[in-house]
Chain A
Amino acid sequence: MNVIELSNVSKTFTLHNQGAAVIPVMSDVTLSVVPGECVGLLGASGAGKSTLMRMIWGNYLAASGRITVAGTDVARAEPREILALRRERMAYVSQFLRVVPRVPTIEVVAEPILLTGTPEDQARDRAAALLARLRIPERLWQLSPTTFSGGEQQRVNIARGFIRQVPVMLLDEPTASLDAANRETVLSLIEEAKARGTAIVGIFHDEAARDRVCDRMIDMARFAA
Chain B
Amino acid sequence: MTAMDAYNFAYLDEDTKRMIRRALLKAVAIPGYQVPFASREMPMPYGWGTGGVQVTAACLTPDDRLKVIDQGADDTTNAVSIRRFFQRTAGVEVTEETEDATIIQTRHRVPEAPLQEGQIMVFQVPIPEPLRFLEPRETETRRMHALADYGLMQVKLYEDIARHGRIATAYAYPVKVEGRYVMDPSPIPKFDNPKLDDSPALMLFGAGREQRIYALPPYTRVESLDFDDHPFVASKADHACDICGATESYLDEVITDDQGGRIFVCSDTAFCRSRQEDRQ
Q: Do A and B contact each other directly (Cβ–Cβ < 8 Å)?
A: no
Please give the residue numbers on chain B whose beta carbons come within 8 Å of chain A beta carbons, in ascending order. Answer: none
Please give the residue numbers on chain A whose beta carbons come within 8 Å of chain B beta carbons, in ascending order. Answer: none
